[in-house]
Amino acid sequence: MISGMPGVDTAGSDNLAEEIMDECLSRFAAGLGAIAVLGALAGCGGGKPVAASDRTGELTVWLTVDAQENWPDLVSEVNERFRKTYPKMKVAVQYQQWTTKNQKIDAALAGQHAPDVVEMGNSETTNYIVNGAFAPLDPSAFDHSGEWLPALRDACRNDGKTYCVPYYAGARVGIYRTDLFKKAGVTRAPRSHTELRRDLDKLKLKFGAADKNFSAFYMPGRYWYAAMAFVKDAGGEIAVRKDGRWHGALSSAPSVAGLTAWKGLLDAYYTGDRSKDNGDEPAVVGQGKVGMFYGNTWEAKAATDSRSGGDPALRGKFATFAFPGPSGKLLPPFLGGSTLAVPAKSSNQDLARDWIRLFTDRTSQRRLIAADTLPNNTVQLREVAAGGVNGPAARAAGRGWVTPQAPGWGAVEKSNVLQEMLQDIATGKQSVPAAARAADRRIDDVINEN
């Protein structure tokens, strides 16, 4: 019998190749995802198959530095699990910086030596998928694929097919100074938008009167992830697809209402530079003149870390909460995160799929949860400790959203159209409706281009 292929007898069969092909296809189509089947798929093109234990070569995996810095033990554990099935295969994990990753991927995909697994931000996938860069995957081969977070799942789909696997997620929340809340007479985090503004009023009265540089709520003008959350909360969209083409939708009535609500908070409680973005948010918050901000949960820790410009004296003085939106529901956060894809030029696509299967299974997701990272599925969101730093993020993630899955979305981001629109609104250069209309025109120019 061939290893991993029960029912295929090498003796007495004149149609061995056909039997192997039929067995491989039927099992893979059934979505069993079994390691033995994946190992035997190497022989599904004709000729004698190679058992998993005899596969040789190197599997090249490109991950970003997040894994290296935050869960290196998980990477090692998955590699060991993989090698139990493929003992003669070498796994070469190479860590990439976010700022240069795509440039390297583009160069590799243009050549003949593509990596076998690549990590992508969930807002980066569409252009690669529509241009045929990634091989299709069978979602049923992966744990909890039926419960993948929609904002990650949708980033991997095109024309009914799946081209990547959600890896992990991150959702923005409200973060506040517990010591300042106490001094202002606020005893708990706000649970409604009305309570939020009431608490911010108390912070402003207590600390802003004596310090004109104090921001009860930190909200720089070009912080588009935050502003677009208010657009989503109001029922608006950045762009919509109609009649096969994408169009900017920021000038719609719901979108304008969301932008107006965002500007109202900024006008009432933010005293800083309205022409900057949130790139240095932890460092600014670490200066001690901010009562509350909207950000990723890791930024609370970064605000106390001198390496990121924070102040160690603030350790233990931050807490998180699920940010209530003006709609009465939780503010829908941009659901940042990563996906894993197999380049179409990979020479080890079957092994790459199996490595991803292990790296994203329920066991690996639990390891990510332990590292204060959100899992890729709604089922395991319930495993995130409600009272922990990521508890509010897990609650908010169910309302998470992702950028439009349009072929030209990368060009929209590179053009800084959202940031420039928000700066014009924040500084009073243009009204909300006028700035939104101008932004829609700029979006329309590039969003349909590959």
Give the CATH number of the domain where residue 420 resides: 3.40.190.10
Residues 6+ apart with CB under 8 A from 160: none
375-409: string of b/e by CB count within 10 Å (b at 16+)? bbbbebbeebeeeebbbbbbbbbebbbbbbbbbbb
Closest Cα to residue 218, out of 274, 126, 114, 292?
A: 292
178 shares its domain with 203? yes
H or E element: which one contains 118? strand 117-121
A 10 A CB-CB count for 423 gives 21
C-beta of residue 386 within 8 angstroms of C-beta of residue 366: no
Domain assignment present for 22: no
d(CA 39, CA 88): 12
Domain count, the chain: 2
Closest Cα to residue 141, out of 5, 340, 335?
A: 340
Domain assignment present for 26: no
Q: What is the full DSSP assignment across 30-63?
A: TT---HHHHHHGGGTTSS----GGG--EEEEEEE
Closest Cα to residue 166, out of 427, 329, 5, 397?
A: 397
| Predicted confidence band of residue 49 (pLDDT cuts 50, 70, 90) | confident
CA 381, chain centre distance (Å):
15
Q: What is the dihedral of CA 268, 270, 276, 282, to 10 degrees?
A: -140
- What pLDDT was estimated at residue 20? 37
- What pLDDT was estimated at residue 47? 53
C-beta of residue 218 within 8 angstroms of C-beta of residue 212: no
H or E element: which one contains 439? helix 432-446
Retrieve residue 188's tokens: 């708990």
Assess whether pLDDT exceeds 60 at residue 398.
yes
149 shares its domain with 205? no
Domain assignment present for 31: no
Residue with more model confidence, 269 or 372: 269
Q: Render pLDDT for 124-136 as a digit per residue (tens, 0 to 9).
A: 998 899 999 999 9
Assess whether pLDDT exceeds 80 at residue 33.
no
99 shares its domain with 142? yes
d(CA 380, CA 388): 15
Domain that holds residue 147: 55-170+336-391
362 shares its domain with 217? no
Domain assignment present for 221: yes
Q: Render pLDDT for 240-268 as a digit per residue (tens, 0 to 9).
A: 999 999 999 999 999 999 999 999 999 99
d(CA 267, CA 276): 15
Assess whether pLDDT exceeds 50 at residue 6.
no
d(CA 301, CA 315): 8
202 shares its domain with 314? yes
Domain assignment present for 40: no
Q: Render pLDDT for 61-108 as a digit per residue (tens, 0 to 9).
A: 999 999 999 999 999 999 999 999 999 999 999 999 999 999 999 999
**Mean pLDDT estimate for the chain:** 89
Q: What is the mean pLDDT of residues 350-375?
A: 97
Q: What is the full DSSP assignment across 184-244?
A: TT--S--SSHHHHHHHHHHHIIIIITT-TT-EEEE--TT-HHHHHHHHHHTT--SEEEETT
Assess whether pLDDT exceeds 90 at residue 180.
yes
d(CA 145, CA 37): 19
209 shares its domain with 355? no
Residue type present at position 41? L
431 shares its domain with 386? no
Distances (CA, A) of 20 to 2, 45, 123: 10, 9, 39
- What pLDDT was estimated at residue 43? 40
Residue type present at position 26? S
295 shares its domain with 413? yes
CA 64, chain centre distance (Å):
13
d(CA 407, CA 421): 21
Considering 362, 391, 420, which residue would you say is the last residue of a domain?
391
235 shares its domain with 357? no
Closest Cα to residue 272, out of 262, 261, 259, 281?
A: 281
Phi-psi bin for 137: left (phi > 0), alpha (psi -120 to 50), beta?
beta
